[in-house]
Chains A and B, each alone.
Chain A
Amino acid sequence: MQKNAYFRSLTIPLLLLLPQLAITVVFFYWPASQAVWQSFLLEDAFGTSTQFVWFENYQSLFSDPGYFKALRNTAVFSTFVCVFSLSIALLFAVMADRQIRGAEIYKTLLIWPYAVAPAIAGVLWIFMFDPSLGMLARGLQSLGIAWNPRLNGNDAMTLVILAATWKQISYNFLFFLAGLQSIPKSVIEAAVIDGARPMRRFWSIIFPLLSPTTFFLLVVNIVYVFFDTFGIIDTVTGGGPAGATETLVYKVYSDGKGGSNLGGSAAQSVILLVMVIAMTAVQFRFIERKVNY
């Protein structure tokens, strides 16, 4: 009954929601529906000839071994980036949360890389690890390691994982730090009095209490590796060598923009969209049960 006490008709609540709804429709539903429509078309670059081809774009994707390779690459890339960026950020956050001299400076420095655009982050890593230009690459070579991301797929994958992880650590660090600071001191002090050692305190108290933050970050990180990393891949490897670093989102970008294959590219982005929705749903359904709010 209380619901009706505030608004007698639907008009005012709808009006109040309108700005948000308009933004969602214009910037999400409209382009997403365009992508779905485009994925059923075969079109030239200029849009002067258009044919409706039903599911042909999808069929040709699933008969392309390159698409499955990109799927495997994405699985490897996203697993490593998520695991590394979350665990390293957690380590840094625990370290920075202690009473140390100059903690603010450490915190600021750790947050900095988040302000760097993905493409610039990529270029920074090229300067370090390019086999001809990179200082660190020369160091590796002088140690007798045949480092060559131009031809070696594993080297190239390592490089893009490093760059993408580095870029995401700041963001994760920020949230973990905030999460740590919101854990009541009294709980930890009680554990100290009970004689729990630091490791025990971390795994039995701090880590479970951080689980809402960790869960949120897991979802955000997966969205990040699936959608936001093509700038890094484009500048560092361009998907090469021999497609070793071509992920699903990079393939969407290179087929659509470079190849002017709009239908195929749209079909790929629709699949990607469905995949990320499904993964997020699964996470909320199964992993969230283990989260203590």
Chain B
Amino acid sequence: MSTSLTQRFPAAPDVPVSDLVSELRAEPPGGRLRVGDPRVVEFVTKFARKLLAPATARRFPELASLGFFLRKGEIAKALSTLDTPAGSLRFPRGLVFHVPPANVDTIFVYSWALSALAGNHNVVRVSSRSAGAAEAVLEALNAALSEVDPDTAAAITATQRMVTYDRSDEVSGALSLAADLRVIWGGDSSVAALRQYPLAPHARDLTFPDRSSFAVASVAGWQRASETERRAAAEGFYNDSYWFDQAACSSPRAVFWVGDDEGARVAGQEFRTLLAQVLVTKQHVTEPAMAVQKRVSAYGAAVDGLVKEIAFEGNGLATLELTDSAVMPREWLGAGTFANACVASLSDLVPVVLRKDQTVGQFGFTTEELTAFAHELAGRGVDRIVPFGSALTFSAVWDGYDLLAEFSRLVTVQA
């Protein structure tokens, strides 16, 4: 049955793709969904409470972040930022087809939730390889559905689907053709693969291609910081980097110390000592295969002339001193492998930045300094600058897109 899909949410028998498309095209009971539809808000907040339940949050800390993001107050705040000019009205786009990455278990939920809050009908392809956190999400969604008002449940059931299907031109093709907006996460290869399937003439893609990220730390800022602030920085950096084995696109691959060479050397050493302590406290385990992978990457970078010094602090932390701060590795080198360099000022990094660069994690800079840096970059790259500890915090503005705005469209009215 190559054209049928497994329905993960709402849990239901397998369905042929043609039937799924016609069901999603139908008007839902209780009337069409609107931007910020109260039925969706009710369902999403019920779902968020399930993610924040202590048992779930303990098992999957990333789901607690997700639950926090979807609390009623946060949703209201996100919806209130939707700027709709006078004389225009905002409406959903229609049917949105989401293709999330297989390996970051929670992205599909953010993508879906914002699109649903914008009033869209959604079909989300959930990876058949989905792991623990994704399973917990689907459980929570199905549980929430049985606890909301029956009218709400009926509207959600009619408009929101999460499905799994084996690779199929027919299914991907049908969903692409039916969509008013297609959302592709998971990097360049996913984008290329999905673009084989034509969209309707009015529809478009919202793509999230391969990205990479780095960190900047102010030497002066580090010197000013208290012991507590330094510890917090190391802990935040740990979360940014190690949660997804440093393979998330927002996780830093390189750290640039900004200031004088000697100050940078001392600060870097102090920072890494603290980071190594965090690894111990968090009982971070580096599997032997990962430890070997890190050596292969580090030695390879040395052979390529990219790095001039390699230092291992146990298996958990490898520091690669760059030969030239203007040439940094952007590819994944193994969990806990950081290129390291010193630059005199943030301006020195401007020529190094590419469009591919997404997140700059920062420590010790002022808003003014960071704003000036962003202005200097002038859009050549970097979509977000966040403090250490927030690199993986999803936001409604992602990769330069205001997602709620992307998930909706404007209608202007003039009498």
> Is B one of A's binding partners?
no
Could you tell me which B residues sit within 8 Å of A by CB distance? none
Could you tell me which A residues sit within 8 Å of B by CB distance? none
